[in-house]
Structure 1
Amino acid sequence: MENLENYIEGRNPVIEALKSERSIEKILISKSANKGSINKIIGMAKDKRIVIQYVEKSKLDSLSDTNSHQGVIAIVSPYSYKTVDDILEFAESKNEDPFIIILDEIEDPHNLGAIIRTAECAGAHGVIIPKRRSAGITPTVIKTSAGAVEYIPVAKVSNISSVIEELKIKGIWIYGAHMEGEYYYEKDLKGPIGLVIGSEGKGIGRLVKEKCDFLIKIPMAGKVSSLNASVATSIVAYEVVRQRRLD
């Protein structure tokens, strides 16, 4: 069986992969798949001379990690993680101050995919994840990101604290989302910025927290004391967008 990281599942994620430079070995399409966007996939694949294999739906069901393949799975080259320098170079190529999302042990692939989607939509230049105790780029992450993983660099690093130190040396201000912080909308979030979001249960770790230049929080008015990590990322990321557009 193929490595799960070599699969892209679902119509929109496969279309985005076809639009990008991702190397696709072949595309499996259910014989019973409804047409519509399947026709678009077939056309794009033929234009790129990618092998199309028509299979029984049960074959896709057995391969699927997401349980929502929508009749199509692409078998691709393994996801190519980028470096932190790649992220900084991407910002430079756009002549923009770096805006980086740094994730401290996000283990839920749905959260990771949703964060990557938000990061790409908000114009962030990259996402940094740790090698250990973190979700990687799996079919579920790719599908939840709606294909955004094809357009934003994701770097996997050995030590988040060390990377934060390196970014600070390069003039990037690090903001950690933490309940002890100041309200996020009261801070100046313009300029080079790294936004640290912690895990679903524990938040950002102590060492990572100590490395942050500032701690920021989202006001809570209800009985529940915390937000889903991807929702928290969206709220703060779009405050960064808002402030940058005021310049």
Structure 2
Amino acid sequence: MAKGNQSRRGAVAKKNQPPKMGSGGKHRRALEGRGPTPKAEDRTWHPAYKQKVAKERQAEREAARAKSMTASAVKVRPGYELVTGRNPVVEVVKAGNKVSRIYLASDPSQGKMREVFELLAETGAPFIEVTKRDLDRVSDGAAHQGIAVEVAEYEYSDLEDLIIDSLQQYKPGLLVALDHITDPHNVGAILRSGAAFGADGLILPERRSAGVGVTAWKVSAGAAARVPAARVTNLVQALRKCKEAGFFIVGLDGNADTTVRNMDLGDSPIVLVTGAEGSGLSRLVRDTCDLIVSIPMTSNVESLNASVATAIALYEIAGE
């Protein structure tokens, strides 16, 4: 206590305390700090935070929209495929293929759909009502016309059976073989041309070749149900078997001197072989052919699409 105040009434003498060093002793907690400064987008009161929240909500909406665009009520089981469109559906049913499910997105009482609906009702398969958007998602943009059926994957014929059935026709046998045709649209178009011009079957190699899948079914407009196809491990060996059975092997090539219109094979059964556009027939396949023919064209066009060339050749053969 300060000197001179010790005698003051009620005064209490204080013990001496050690002095505090600087302001740290008094404001030590305040000087400890609050850690690193949060980013602007993490401060709830900052405009950057509101922008971040808005972007996150937008991303969530876009993800939900993308999910709704990819999800579909049409579920195709393993080992099955989807055939879409009125004509392909009618053809697949008339060909005796077993239908396991029917997806309908159109009014069955309207126009031609009524006839299709009645035909499908006879199969005994369950009807599943879906939206047109559901069918859009599973048909790759193809015109499905509001109808699709689930059937077992295409069942290929045996080559020997194909040869025998072709030779037993009332007309000279006619088969089509494809060499390295990898576009299923071409396969479907060739099936359609084959059905139009009397081909008895199609021969496809297993490797480096498109098969008779959903796309080919659709492009063929149902012709895949009428023209059987055989898939072989070796196209050259398959062509040799056809030769042994009496078939004349004719290959298409744009540089051949003989045209398809001028060839004269009489009543011989024919296997018409088409190669890929650009590369044409492979060497071994070409060597196996009995005759190489071309389609006459103007000099302005180097080559034709494989399916177009096949259709022209089939037309000429059918007209002989």
Shift, 1:203, TM fit: 0.9
| Residues 138-182 of structure 1: CA deviation (Å, up to 9, x unaligned) | 221111101001011111111111111111111111010012321
SS at match of 1:168: helix
- Count of equivalent residues: 243
Contact 1:32-1:57 at 8 Å conserved across structures: no
| Residues 109-160 of structure 1: CA deviation (Å, up to 9, x unaligned) | 1111110011111111100011111111122111110100101111111111
Over aligned residue pairs, what C-alpha RMSD do you find?
A: 1.8
Q: Partners in 2 of 1:138 and 1:238 — Cα distance?
A: 25
Q: 2:113 aligns with which of 14, 35, 38?
A: 38
Q: Partners in 2 of 1:32 and 1:139 — Cα distance?
A: 24
Partner of 1:187: 263
Does residue 164 of the first structure (1) align with residue 252 of the second (2)?
A: no
Does residue 199 of the first structure (1) align with residue 276 of the second (2)?
A: yes
Q: 1:13 aligns with which of 88, 105, 119?
A: 88
Shift, 1:28, TM fit: 0.2
Runs of 4+ in 1 over 4 A off after TM superposition: 31-34
Shift, 1:101, TM fit: 0.3
Structure 1, unmatched stretches of 5+, are none
| Residues 59-100 of structure 1: CA deviation (Å, up to 9, x unaligned) | 212222453212111100111101112212322442332211
Paired-residue identity, %: 36
Q: 2:296 aligns with which of 208, 219, 225?
A: 219
Does residue 108 of the first structure (1) align with residue 168 of the second (2)?
A: no
Shift, 1:200, TM fit: 2.1
Shift, 1:23, TM fit: 0.9
Contact 1:103-1:130 at 8 Å conserved across structures: yes
SS at match of 2:178: strand
Contact 2:277-2:303 at 8 Å conserved across structures: no
Contact 1:5-1:137 at 8 Å conserved across structures: no
| Paired residues for 1:1-247 under 5 Å | 1-2=75-76, 3=78, 6-31=81-106, 35-65=110-140, 67-181=142-256, 182-189=258-265, 190-243=267-320
**Code of the aligned partner of 2:176:** I
Shift, 1:4, TM fit: 8.6
Q: CA, structure 1 residues 5+208, in 2 after alignment: closer, same or farther (shift >3 Å)?
A: farther
Q: Partners in 2 of 1:239 and 1:222 — Cα distance?
A: 21
**Code of the aligned partner of 2:262:** E
Query: Higher strand proportion, which one?
Result: 1
**Code of the aligned partner of 1:48:** T
Contact 2:206-2:232 at 8 Å conserved across structures: yes
Which has the higher Rg, Structure 1 or Structure 2?
2
Structure 2, unmatched stretches of 5+, are 1-74
Partner of 2:24: none
SS at match of 2:261: helix
Shift, 1:34, TM fit: 8.6
Shift, 1:33, TM fit: 7.8
SS at match of 2:181: coil
